[in-house]
A and B are shown apart, each in its own frame.
Chain A
Amino acid sequence: MLDFALKISVALFAIAIVLNLYRVAVGPSLPDRILALDTMYVNSIALIVLFGIWLGHRTYFEAALLIAMLGFVSTVAVCKYLLRGDIIE
């Protein structure tokens, strides 16, 4: 049962990432792309967590934690760039 659920959710998140990528690629505006990128980070976290459940390794949850944090910083930096041009001022 768990195996089945895992497969379904992995497939769904994979589709989600592909859709994110589509949005990143076509835009049309920059905020669209940034939002899509951020969502992509979130979906990657989900994928990694699922992968961790599947393999039964704790390590992957920590990786997910880090992706969450670093993805946040990355998004913040891009947003700041859009707002002010200079990230660190």
Chain B
Amino acid sequence: MSLLLIVLLPLLGSLLPSLSSNQRRHQCALLTAAMPLIALLVTLRETPGVIAGEVPRLAFSWVPALGLDLALRLDGLSLLFVLLILGIGLLIILYARHYLSEADNMPRFYAYLMLFMTSMLGIVMADNLILLWMFWELTSLSSFLLIGFWSHQSAARKGARMALAVTGMGGLALLAGLILIGQIVGTFDMQTVLDSRDVILADPRYLPALLLILLGAFTKSAQFPFQFWLPQAMAAPTPVSAFLHSATMVKAGVFLLARLHPALAGSQEWLYLVSLTGLVTMLYGAYFALIKLDLKTILAYSTVSHLGLITMLFGLNSQMAVVAGLFHILNHATFKAALFMTAGIVDHECGTRDIRKLKGLWRYMPMTTALAAITAASMAGFPLLNGFLSKEMMLAETLETPLLGGLAWLIPVLATIGSILAAAYSLRYVRNTFFDGKPRELEKTPHEASFPMRLPVLVLAIVCIIIGLFPAFSATGILTTAADAALTMPAPELHLSIWHGFNLPLLMSAIALIGGFMVYVLRQHLFTFHRQFPSRNSLAIFEGAVQRLVRFTQWGIDTLENGSLQRYMLWVVISALAVSGMSLMGIETLKGELAVQKADPLLIVGAAITCFAGLATAFLHRRRLISLIMLSVVGLMASLAFARFSAPDLALTQLAVEVVTVILLMLALFFLPQKTPKESSASRIVRDVLLAAGFGGVVASLNYALLTRPLNSISDYFLEHSVSGGGGHNVVNVILVDFRGFDTLGEITVLCIAGIGIYKLLNRLRLFMPSSDSEGRPWSPDRYPMILASVSQSLLPMALLVSVFIFLRGHNAPGGGFIAGLVTAVALILMYIAHGVEWAQQRLSFQYQPIAVSGVAIATLTGVGSWAFGYPFLTSAFGHFHIPLIGDVELATAMLFDLGVYLTVVGATLMILANLGKVTTSHRPSKQKEKA
């Protein structure tokens, strides 16, 4: 449980600062510090156990389907990082309290910082690959907020965006890599993965997985060629830089290398990819750290360089190198956090970080000068400080490596060159800032920073010295446990001490320090040399690339999605043709093995009429009403076809819908132009005709191929169980209301939604209404013809009776809710046609929306009702009842469901048509005509 506390307390802590106001800064900082402090104490309580070899673990199942568990562990590696994150995090909280100005929103800053801390702790303690990735992405997001904290500055916004883009993309690659690993191993559980090194290395998917994971780690840790985002992230407030770029964010990448080292390392690919990338990054960062002029940029490049060093160590496939890498992680975190804080102090007190303006600050801030000198000396690898120890271990390891075979001597030489540069830029950082004459052009007179602001630096400097002087006492224990976790076998015995006797690594260290001094003295030549190269602004390049990408995608969107329905249709049809055409080509013969039935003359006539009417609908489309009449012929013929092929339910539905559709289209046509203008070019018509012909051909071929092949239908089940299981003899209706009732429920819901959508679309619609028909004749003055009115009125009760009859018998004979609903709707619509909206509304004084909605509600409740009896949703029950006068009636709960269908169909249809009819009631142009 304490593991969960360590991760969750800072998360809780991200809420606490907001309790405090921006004015009460002490309170705010204290509130923020409380939670990490408790978490640190909890960790310290666990520490002895972990060092003794225990690995506390905790797991809750979270999303088992994704292999995601909320699983945490605290092994040595996690412990090292947790202590770093919490310890340095607390110092940063203290430092930020005095660094942030009155104008900055402190609670917001602390909230982001705590969120970041949580995600970082999550990464190092995750015991599940997917969980690790989740926290990994959370660091990308929260670091985006932190880097862009001064969101009023363009540089901060752009830097944050760049960091998010680079690390976010790396995160996606990492996810892909982790999923590959998960597939190779069969689980995302960390321990299983770490134990399956042989399986992973032997799998052909190892290389892609490795590449993807390394992409994630290298983008996060700013390895070459992804180093460019880190210097841009210096636009962040200095406490953020001190935290993110010393102990946390960038260390996540190298942490991942250490964490997966047992599972992935040991191969040639790992050796070359990781160590060479690290080496190149180390040299690249060191060189630019020497060249740059801004204090924080210098530190940023030195961070890049040190991360390269650590990466190289992890890549060497040597156990001692891993120990050295872990040791350097610890050391780098201490001295780099301190150095960033001194840079922040200088910036805070002098108002600039330009190394050309700053000089001789030791006069004003002796304490800060001393602290900066100590920590920079550690960075340079000066003896008696912690940086010296890990750097010497690194140099010793480079001598051992098999990398590059016969050219293996290159590695130690290049490592020494990197160390020379490190010594040089450390010297430059201290001497140019704090010594070397007097400051120039400073905006304000510098003075010593307040004690609380110096305190975190002091603490870290003391840590540097303690580890440097007493390494065996202070660091061996935790390093050994951490190395145990990062290695497949127990860590080699560690002899940390200041003095190993005269040996080659010591010589190399000496060369590095002396060489660094000489490079520093001769630095002007280097600067002159560097000036020959055109300067490259990575931010401009990145932003340019982003702009180009945006333009390209915009172009792509504009081309594909230009707002033209015709073009969309074209794409859809062409893809449909391609897909179905391909599959048609795949079959051997169009005709299948089934015998063809003989066509009788009546059928031929019917087919001819249908084809003719269909083609006429298309060719007469410019005269819209005639086209519509042709459409209704097609509908009628389709209905006859259904009747001919033994589907009376379909025939009735089709017929009713056909009538309703024609009424609907004519209602709409009144408000639309009566004729379509001739505007398609000849080539467009040829194209469309060809497309349509191709489409028709494919549909016909598909249909023929389907009809002549034997059928494997599940219908036999329905036929067998219709009476016994659904209590109805009309199988179609039983399928609708019982077997597949859930589909029908969805269907009527869609119908209801369509009706409501139309109701809203018609809201306050004012349309142009023609005052005469398409041939220029004025409308007839007789609004409601007498004969029509009387005939339709006598038809109404009959139609309603028919619909009730069709509804009731639907379960056992053709009919049912759909058809009955449509018949009722048509009968009521006839009233509207014959008498007008006002007349009908006086007599039908109810709204249709509630009817449609209550229909859906009844159907749903019928389904829910079966829960009450312990059956699944929509289970139907039926039984026989004797009703006086009517006789034996079979009643099923499906009937109630069908009632819901009926009400929905009636409600939705009338909602559509009656509302459409209402559009015109208020005013008619013909009235004006009468007046005129």
Contact = CB atoms under 8 A, between A and B. Distances in A.
Q: Report if A and B touch in the complex (beta carbons < 8 A).
A: yes
Interface of A: 10-11, 14, 17-18, 21, 24-25, 27, 30, 33-34, 37, 40-41, 44, 47-48, 51, 59-60, 62-63, 65-67, 69-74, 76-78, 80-89
B629 A21 contact: no
Quick one: which of A10, A66, A69, A85 has the most chain B CB within 10 A?
A85
21 contacts: A18-B608, A25-B630, A27-B626, A37-B633, A44-B636, A59-B648, A59-B813, A59-B814, A69-B798, A73-B830, A74-B659, A76-B792, A76-B830, A78-B629, A84-B779, A86-B670, A87-B670, A88-B832, A88-B836, A89-B783, A89-B924
A62 B652 CA distance: 9
Nearest to B840: A88
A24 B626 CA distance: 8
B628 to A, nearest CB: 9
B234 interface: no
B666 interface: yes
Query: Which 3 interchain pairs have the tightest Cβ spacing?
Result: A88-B917, A83-B780, A88-B832
A76 B644 CA distance: 27
Given A69-B823, A74-B663, A85-B670, 10 more contacts: A24-B629, A30-B625, A37-B632, A62-B648, A71-B659, A73-B829, A76-B833, A88-B667, A88-B836, A89-B920
Given A66-B655, A81-B670, A25 B770 contact: no
Given A48-B640, A70-B826, A76-B830, A33 B670 contact: no
B605 interface: yes
Contact of B779 (A21, A51, A83): A83
A21 B920 contact: no
Given A34-B629, A88-B832, A11 B601 contact: yes
Contact of B785 (A30, A65, A83): A83
B779 to A, nearest CB: 5
Contacts of B823: 66, 69-70
Contacts of A47: 602, 640
Contact of A69 (B640, B669, B780, B799): B799
Contact of A18 (B609, B640, B814, B921): B609
Contacts of A60: 643, 648
B625 A69 contact: no
A88 to B, nearest CB: 3
A41 B636 contact: yes
B605 A37 contact: no
B769 interface: yes
A18 B625 CA distance: 21
Contacts of B609: 17-18, 21
B571 interface: no
Nearest to A57: B648
B138 interface: no
B833 A77 contact: yes
A76 B788 CA distance: 8
B605 A17 contact: yes
Quick one: which of B613, B633, B924 has the most chain A CB within 10 A?
B633
Main SS class of interface, A:
helix
B759 to A, nearest CB: 15
A88 B640 contact: no
A66 B613 CA distance: 22
B920 A86 contact: yes
Contact of B659 (A25, A33, A40, A70): A70
Given A70-B826, A89-B837, A83 B666 contact: no
Interface string B828-853: 01101110110000000000000000
Contacts of A25: 612, 616, 630
Contacts of B644: 51
A81 B924 CA distance: 14
A84 to B, nearest CB: 5
Nearest to A22: B612
A88 B780 contact: no
B782 interface: yes
A65 B605 CA distance: 23
A78 B656 CA distance: 16
Given A69-B799, A89-B920, A89-B924, A78 B640 contact: no
Quick one: which of A41, A74, A88 has the most chain B CB within 10 A?
A88
Interface in B489-520: none
Contacts of B639: 67
B795 interface: yes
B666 A66 contact: no
A62 B823 CA distance: 13
B656 A10 contact: no
Interface in B645-704: 648, 651-652, 655-656, 658-659, 662-663, 666-667, 669-670
B230 interface: no
A34 B837 CA distance: 25
Interface in B201-253: none
A86 B925 CA distance: 11
Contact of A37 (B601, B629, B795, B913): B629
B629 A73 contact: no
A16 B609 CA distance: 12
A81 B633 contact: no
B802 interface: yes
Contacts of B914: 88
Quick one: which of B670, B798, B921 has the most chain A CB within 10 A?
B670
Nearest to A36: B629
Given A63-B643, A87-B666, A10 B921 contact: no
A66 B652 contact: yes
Contacts of A59: 648, 813-814
Interface string B750-794: 000000000000000000011001000001101101001000100
A3 B607 CA distance: 23
A72 B651 CA distance: 17
Contact of B829 (A10, A17, A88): A88
B833 A83 contact: no
Contacts of B666: 77-78, 81, 87
Quick one: which of B663, B785, B823, B913 has the most chain A CB within 10 A?
B663
B837 A88 contact: yes
A40 B633 contact: yes
A41 B783 CA distance: 26
Contacts of B658: 70, 74
Contacts of A82: 773
B629 A88 contact: no
Quick one: which of A34, A60, A63, A65 has the most chain B CB within 10 A?
A63
A30 B643 CA distance: 29
Contact of A77 (B602, B662, B773): B662
Interface string B597-637: 00001100110110011001000000001100110110010
B916 interface: yes
Contacts of B832: 88
A39 B441 CA distance: 102
Contacts of B643: 48, 51, 60, 63
A37 B813 CA distance: 30
Interface in B890-932: 913-914, 916-918, 920-921, 924, 926
A37 B659 CA distance: 13
Nearest to A30: B625
A89 B625 contact: no
